Amino acid sequence: MKKTSPIKIIFTDVDWTILNHGHGRHVYDQKSLKALRKAQKNGVKVFIATARPYESLQLTGFFDEFKPDGMILSNGAVIFIGDKIIHHDYMNKDLVKKICEIAKKRNIVIQFVSEFERWISDKINEVAQHYFDFYFEKTPAIRGYNNENVSGLLLFCTEDQDAEIVKEINCPGLDVFRLFPYAIDIREHLIKKSDGIEKVLQYYDLNKDDALALGDDVQDVSMFELCKYSAAMGNGVNKAKESASIVTKHIDKHGVKKALKYFEVI
């Protein structure tokens, strides 16, 4: 089909949008990836917008499957145009050290995230193992924090610890997101995928009326609210479905491909 859509750029989530955890370790929806490649041939730019950092995305085999025009990683903290980083949001190093001390006192393992790599503070314990098993993640290297620039921290802890940890950190504006029963994502301040999208649109001199967002979870809602066009996956959470322009098919039924057809991108 000839492209008739006004959409010039697509921002797609990864997990449960094009990466299906329901059928093995890291299984990508090949029909939807093919559709995204077709969109690129039609002149539409395709960006990944994910909470995953670079190394985590790499270990899923993503770069063997698809070549995006750019990436919004760590929920907007790191932005790539092609292979070039155009934005990074680093945490205050003294704050990182303080969180390290709190975590060590509570026997909590931390995952540190930089532009290209991840590492953990100590050997994996039972709580952290739940996370890596669930996401089929390879355990990162173990090393301490030595004043590296980090864009985010992942603390492997249970929900009953959240309030006390946040109180002890005592940082106004601290962004804490529980993304898993055994892990919380911590950043110095709130960073949303839409923040990254705004920077990308500005880079290309585009606006929200040119953009389509695809996703399945609460972290994708900010994308849906910013972009004129949006599609929530049929397997998505209710909040995402309520915020999107349309609800497309389940990932098992190639929801991204169906959305691109609906919006006449392909």
* 64 found inside a domain: yes
Indicate if the alpha-carbon torsion angle 132, 136, 142, 148 is positive or negative.
negative
Average pLDDT over residues 6-21: 96
Closest CA to 46 of 235, 211, 234: 211
> What tens digit of pLDDT does each residue of 172-206 get?
999 999 988 999 999 999 999 999 999 999 999 99
The pLDDT, as a whole number, for residue 35 is: 98
Distance CA 266, CA 263 (A): 8
Asked whether residue 84 falls in the same domain as residue 195, the answer is yes
Q: Residue 125 belongs to a domain with what CATH number?
A: 3.30.1240.10
Asked whether residue 103 falls in the same domain as residue 177, the answer is yes
Asked whether residue 163 falls in the same domain as residue 246, the answer is no
> What tens digit of pLDDT does each residue of 132-165 get?
888 888 899 999 999 999 999 999 999 999 999 9
DSSP run (H or E) holding 199:
helix 193-204
Asked whether residue 51 falls in the same domain as residue 38, the answer is yes
* 1 found inside a domain: no
* 242 found inside a domain: yes
Asked whether residue 81 falls in the same domain as residue 198, the answer is yes
pTM for the model: 0.92
